[in-house]
Chains A and B, each alone.
Chain A
Amino acid sequence: MIAAAARTRSAVTLAAVAIACGPVAGVPRTYPPENRCPEHTCEAYQQDGVKPACGRDRCEAGKPVFPYVLVVSVPTTSFFGAGRTFYVPVEGGTPRSGGDPSTCRGDECIPLPPLVTVEGEYRASYTLMEKVGLPADPPRETPATFPARVVYRPLVKVGGASRAPSTLGIPEDPIVADRRVIEDNRGPLHGPSVVFSAVVPRGMYERTLSPDPPWDVLPIVTTSDLETAVTDIVVVRDEPDPRPPLEPVKGLRDVLVDERTRRLAKLARPMGLDGFRTWLADAKTQDRASARRTLSGFSADVFLDTVQRGDEDSRPLDLVLAPPEGSLAMPSLVVRTTAGQGMDQSYLDVPPPAAVTGRVVSPSGATPGVRATVVFDGDQMRLAGSLALAPYLKYRTSVRTDAQGRFATILPLGLYTVHVDPDKEQGWGKNVATVDVDAARDVVLVPSPLAAVEGRAILTDGRSLAGAEVIAAPSFADQEGLRVREPWRFPREVRTRTDDVGAFRLALDQGTYDITVVPADGTGLPATISVGRKIAPPKPGGVTVLEPLRVPAPQKISHLIVDPSRNPVTRAIVRAFAKPVAQASYVQIGTAMTDAQGKFELLVAGQPR
């Protein structure tokens, strides 16, 4: 009996040891799903186009057949092309970089084009200088040289046409030329010359030459579809050269300002025009398109010279009459001109500006107020002695609120659209209000609640996509110019992560978003973008539920990037852009970095929709 008790004790002890030192029961942990084969069958992906097949331990749906553009940003530490951006359109899987195809062969290799140094000068004839009021003493036969800001905008050839990347929604990297003064005794244009020069990748460019102030009374010269040239001396004339040089000057390019491109503006202001400035601006981009003139007196007749912007040009122009630099609370006159009409304008007298103070408070009324940026955008102003609102007079300013949400500014009297842009941390959304400033005002502005948005990310084989980043970015489709000129019109970018079942929740401003799902690195799944998702104004307690975001098996883009000397281009950022179905603007579909061999691999989700 005693022996039995001892055996029992031993057995219990052994069991206790076994339990104490046994393996700890694991807690199940959720990992993001992976695109691995043959663990997961590739046939399970239900998607259009090429059916996924197992290749190199993951399911791939071939290579993209839709056109896309690779934007290669070479690091500033690179031996070749430091800090330069190269645009590589890819159509039918074949990259067209403009590089020498003998550098490396095959569609896998992208040879970058060489860099070339471009030089030039901006000159103007003395007769033109006299006409625009520049001193031309003593008059000379050779055109005078002027310092100018010279910008090269690269052009990308897509669909058979050369376009500036920004007009396609692709990031643009313009190159601004350096300048120096040299003594040139080589030819008929002898004497001191202001020479501009830039080092640019060989290709097509749009070049804009804008004379520096005070010589900005001379016209801006824009040359489109400019093949990279080594030397290019632009001479702006108001009449053909009466005595062309006997020996041809290399790269000489005469640009004529004639009656078709010269616009006469007749301007008046009862209170005087001293210090006012006028010019013509492109109506779409608001870029200056003509010479800029500074006025004096009560009325002025001035020529606003343009180049290649005659009446036959389809791009409309706005006549701008702006108050003197540094003036406070004075509106600008902006009038659309049509076929030379609208060039006679009078800037009518406006009453003194008014002090506008106010607060931005939360809709709940909680204190303190809301930190925000407040933009006052007025396009109808009141005239002196009249309650009527005059169109064409515009004024815009922005102010910041303090920690209590207070702000103060001075505004010309008029009707304003007020954009309230709360800081992100404040937890409120953007809002728009209308404020009629007819006297000194104290206004209370209220931001909008954010819209609650829910969604789910799933793979096309039905698995939930856990651990993915979801980025809701404002959609700039066809509105690239407004993105920079009027940024307050767009909603703000917000990001979050999907949970274990692929669900996510966002708090968004109202507006149109491109929503991107970025699966975790190494999962073998592509970033997937869904464009043009409209988010309606928030309703109390309401939740907007998005359609599921479906991530397919990837299509692979992989290339090797080499310089003209066949050296790999390492640590370059490569971004791919493609045009969504039924949309004109491109969107980004992937990002990668080249490795030590100059190779990169991008997994994309097909043509965006």
Chain B
Amino acid sequence: MRGIEEARQRRTGRQGLARAVVSLVSLVGGCIIAEPPQDLPPLPAFHPVIMRGSVVPPANRILTVFPQKFVVPVELVDPTVTFQWRVFIDYNPQTGDFIKDRGVSKYDPHSAPGGVRVLEVSLPAPDEGGPVTCHTIEFLVAGGFRGDFEGRQAHTPDNAGGDSVVWFYAPAGDTRSCPLYDPKPVQPSTDAALQ
């Protein structure tokens, strides 16, 4: 009798162990079943794109009146991203000076679809009495900017790149100090030709 009882106890113990193992497996397996299917492939890195044709005022002519507001529509591949914008007037590449405003545009889950966000920024007019007669207004957008240090506001987008639109403002219509691009090749000097 005692042998039979011991055998039953051993069988019961094995059954309990087996139940515990099955329970553990079902616990783990049950949670694995709830795991979501494989993620979609991520979007490639991209940067916000300014719809240059629709910016206000148009950027294809020199401004003689400083606008109350600059309106910049920005198109996004992924409408859920957050991006940054910065505005410089007469940016000084040596000192990183003359940032006039900056901000962050965030995704709004209630936003209408379409992937276009319209930014409106009002800026203080540059001093007309100053030494510069043609001012350069740069509006930059990027996922992020790099190189901010010592109070300087960087002008460089992060690795995904950025976009910009530039206006030239010459209140007196004097465009002599507006930046020029001269693609003419450098001519050899007359002296060189004589030699």
Contact = CB atoms under 8 A, between A and B. Distances in A.
Contacts, number: 146
B103 interface: yes
Interface in A277-323: none
A523 interface: yes
Interface string A485-503: 1011010110100000000
B2 interface: no
Interface string A8-20: 0110010011001
B125 interface: yes
Given A17-B26, A20-B31, A425-B99, A73 B71 contact: yes
Contact of A9 (B20, B58, B173): B20
A2 B69 CA distance: 82
B30 A21 contact: yes
A94 to B, nearest CB: 25
Contacts of A396: 129
Nearest to A16: B27
Interface of A: 2, 6, 9-10, 13, 16-17, 20-21, 31-32, 34, 73, 75-78, 83, 149, 151, 166, 171-174, 176, 371, 373, 375, 396-398, 400, 402-403, 423-426, 467, 473-474, 476, 483-485, 487-488, 490, 492-493, 495, 520-523, 571-573, 575, 588, 591, 593
A396 B121 CA distance: 28
B108 interface: yes
Contact of A78 (B34, B53, B118): B53
B166 to A, nearest CB: 14
A272 B53 CA distance: 53
A399 B15 CA distance: 89
B130 A398 contact: yes
Nearest to B54: A75
Contacts of B69: 171, 588
A371 B73 CA distance: 31
A490 B27 contact: no
Contacts of A13: 19-20, 23, 27
B54 A572 contact: yes
Nearest to B51: A571
Contact of B54 (A6, A20, A593): A593
Interface in B120-140: 120-130
Contacts of B101: 424, 493
B108 A521 contact: yes
B3 to A, nearest CB: 18
Contacts of A521: 108, 110-112
Contacts of B20: 9, 13
A483 B68 contact: yes
Contact of A76 (B34, B52, B95, B151): B52
Contacts of A573: 54, 56, 71, 73, 118
Nearest to A71: B56
B19 to A, nearest CB: 7
B34 A21 contact: yes
A173 B31 contact: no
Contact of A487 (B12, B110, B125): B125
Contacts of A571: 51, 53-54, 73
Question: Which of B58, B97, B100, B116 has most chain A Cβ within 10 Å?
Answer: B58
B60 interface: yes
A34 B103 CA distance: 25
A171 B66 CA distance: 9
B68 A591 contact: no
Contact of B30 (A17, A375, A588): A17
B47 to A, nearest CB: 20
Nearest to B117: A521
B184 interface: no
A523 B112 CA distance: 9
A593 B118 contact: yes
A426 B99 CA distance: 12
